[in-house]
Amino acid sequence: MICLELFATFFRIGLFTIGGGYAMLPLIQQEVQIRGWMTAEALVNFVAVSESTPGPFAVNISTYVGAELAGLPTVPCIIRELTDDEAIIVMVDSNLQREQILPSEKAVAYKMKLEAMKRQGMRTDLTFGPLGQKSAINTRDTLATEVPDSSRQIQRYIRLTNLIPELLDMVDNSVLKEAGKLQMALRPAVELSYLPEAEQTALLEVMEEGSVTIDGVTRVLPKPFLVIATQNPIGSVGTQMLPESQLDRFMIKLNMGYPDLQSEVDILKARHSENPIDHVHQVASAEDIVRLQRQTEQIYVDDRIYNYIASLAQATRQHQMLRLGISPRGTLALTAAAKATALLRGRDYVTSDDVRFMLRDVFAHRLLLSAKARMQEITVEQVIGDVVRQVPVPVIGDEI
């Protein structure tokens, strides 16, 4: 028997489209809209008609639309006996071939098909025919041979089903690109999917409102509020590398590396009889930091400096050793960093030296080397140096 709840599930996640292939529904009249989506009235009519129609069935929606446009009074169709699991597999296979499918739709589709395959008992034949010979191959690996995504990527998509709807909408918007709405790439979304629902909700509140509610008590985030992330090149098994779009959101990246010989000797001596951390004391209050941020906003930037920063970014986008240059977000970050540097150096205007001083820390994590550069073992730092030499330096104020 066809499960009506199964149809309703596919309807809610938007898997029914014109030309979407097989669908578990009888002949539906004018309610199927040519623009590609089923109306709520169509769902009501489906339930009404299906309750009076015996047996499972599958009708190709595109066949119906073609018949309707041709003015045919009847629709040619093939009726096949299907179990729920067989119908799920047919449904998912047809809809995964759509030209555009959202991450949330793909996540639900993969999960439903994988569960259906497991219930069928591992098989080599994924059609709705008789069961094939039992196979010891992992079901997800088998599914990966049928779709363009790898087994690990399928697992990542399925993890998205654990996200709260608001965060899942952000992942979908990474495809839709709707203006004014937040976006989230797949990999960080997968990491967030491991959080309990309450923690996901708290994170969303922080992102959207600058506050967090715990046990019914709303707490406004303090100012200043910033995010500091650490990256360890060793022991990173099980973690996901941040995509370029997420790295671009970090203003600067600092590489610590190992201390030199004398610095390491000083570290050892400092811990001879006590822990230096016990003597760390506050040098600025939160109010001091906010005040400095406001002063930084007032630092003057000459048009020649703006042009210099933009020219540096353009040079990275055209450099033959780079396959990804600096984005506009990167130029904004460099401008802000240069203004802060000028303030700390006791000036109320930015010079080209301020820009060059912060250039590496702002640009390095945003640039991607080309295959040619990697083969020649050229580093990002070398490319940045080349860019600095290419772009003419403006002379401002005390640089004269």
Structure tokens at 141: 């690996």
What are the contacts of 4-10 at 24+ separation with CB within 8 A? 4/47, 4/50, 6/84, 6/87, 6/88, 7/43, 7/46, 8/43, 9/108, 9/112, 10/91, 10/95
- What whole-number distance in Å separates Cα of residue 244 and Cα of residue 367? 9
Whether the CB-CB separation of 140 and 151 falls below 8 Å is answered with yes
Distance (Å, whole) CA 157 – CA 109: 9
pLDDT tens, position by position, 185-225: 888 888 888 888 888 877 777 766 677 766 677 778 788 87
Of the candidates 259, 72, 103, which has an alpha carbon nearest to the alpha carbon of residue 170?
103
Residue from 23, 11, 19, 12 nearest 98 by CA: 19
89 half-sphere exposure, CB direction, 13 A CA radius = 19
Q: Which comes out higher in pLDDT, residue 314 or 24? A: 314
Q: Could you give the CA distance from residue 60 to residue 78 in angstroms, rounded to a whole number?
A: 8
Tokens 């929606």 correspond to what residue? 61
Say what the pLDDT of residue 230 is.
77
Query: For the segment 87-117, what is each residue's pLDDT rounded down to a tens digit?
Result: 777 777 777 777 778 888 888 888 888 888 7
Tell me the per-residue pLDDT of 221-273, one tens digit each, with 9 for 90 and over. 788 877 777 777 676 555 556 667 778 888 999 888 889 999 999 999 988 88
Q: In the structure, what pLDDT confidence band is assigned to residue 319 with cuts at 50, 70 and 90? A: very high
